[in-house]
Amino acid sequence: MKHLIVAGRRIELDKDGYLLALADWSAPVAEALAQQEQLTLSDEHWQILHLLRAFYAEFQLSPANRPLIKYVALKLGPEKGNSLHLNLLFKGAPAKLAAKLAGLPKPTNCL
């Protein structure tokens, strides 16, 4: 079983590296997940991660790319809610990678 050790706590991951328990998420866990992806989280990243968690709280599912872009545009405006910005932040796979870093399940409607 994959796992991370964050601040002495063992955090279980699924085979694709997503958190098994949503409640395990915290800022240090997000940093550790990002490190595994060779990514350093900037304010821009955090803004999207917090928004994704709000999306999940509202709809109880992880968005595919299109709805993610739409939702970000709705909440933060079109400068942030466009595929170029999100692709640059999340290595070309915003729905999958941002969901992983935000501690959400893997998006199911996203090939």
Partner 1 sequence: MAKSLLIISRQSPWSGPSAREALDIALAGGAFDLPLGLLFLDDGVLQLAPAQQPAAVQQKDLAANLQALPLFGVESLYASARSLQERGLEPRALTLAVEVLDDAALIALIDRYDQVITL
Does residue 70 interact with partner 1 by CB under 8 A? Answer: yes
Shortest distance in whole angstroms from residue 56 CB to partner 1: 10
Total count of residues recorded for the chain = 111
Q: Which is nearer to partner 1, 6 or 61 (CB)?
A: 61
Alpha helices for 1-111 (secondary structure H): 27-36, 43-59, 65-76, 83-89, 94-101
Closest among 59, 52, 64, 53 to 109, alpha carbons compared: 64
Does residue 64 interact with partner 1 by CB under 8 A? Answer: yes
Catalytic: which of 32, 34, 39, 110?
110
Which residues sit at the interface with partner 1, rule CB under 8 A?
A: 58-61, 63-67, 70-71, 74, 108-110
Catalytic residue numbers read 110
